[in-house]
Amino acid sequence: MATEPSGFGCKISFYENDLPHVYPVISSVDEIDRFSIPNPKTDGLMTLALNIYKHVKGRVEQEGHTIKVVASRGPFTIASHIMGLTNFLLNIKIEPDKVHKMLKLITRFILIWLEAQMDVVKEVEGIMILDDVAGFISREDFIEFAYPYFKEIFGSFPNLVRIYHNDTDNPVPYEFLSE
């Protein structure tokens, strides 16, 4: 969960008996203008993840297996790490145009990140997008703020198995799975 936000400059703290903690790097959606799309080959923990793929790929293949799925956190989850969950969700209502700008940038990044993983793994049959935060919003907000970006991500890989992970009780995201 810290891999993608680290590319945007988020500080990450690791603990022996707990999940990593990701610290927001901006306090206002206005600050998104200073961001460029991170390079998975040079920025943050993504470089480490790609190198781990390279390192384990041979061993996995020696065992008679292949890595079939690559993954990324979704645009809402990444945005909530970059600016904090409450701040991000509030800005959906306060600054919708700026949130769309942020989500567009993050979506472009996700596509680059998935492709970078595919370049290393090679025999990919599926992608997984993990985004519980998209389950925190209403149907109306999902249609406006989440649906177009998920559709772009999943639509970019039409020949692969597409997996959406969301642990929330909100049924709204599942209504759109077939699309």
Alpha-carbon distance values, 69 to 20, 46, 174 (Å): 23, 16, 21
Domain interval for residue 100: 3-176
pLDDT at site 174: 86
CATH no. for residue 36? 3.20.20.210
Number of domains in the chain: 1
Angle in degrees, CA 128, 76, 108, rounded to 5 = 70
**pTM of the full structure:** 0.95
User: How many whole angstroms separate alpha carbon 4 and alpha carbon 34?
Assistant: 17
Q: Give CA–CA dist 135/109, Å, rounded.
A: 21
3-state secondary structure 43-86: CHHHHHHHHHHHHHHHHHHHCCCCCCEEEEECHHHHHHHHHCHH
- Tell me which of 58 and 114 has the higher pLDDT: 114
pLDDT 10s digits, 102-148? 999 999 999 999 999 999 999 899 999 999 999 999 999 999 999 99
pLDDT tens column, 10-20: 999 999 999 99
Query: Residue 1 pLDDT > 90, yes or no?
Result: no
pLDDT above 90 for 45: yes
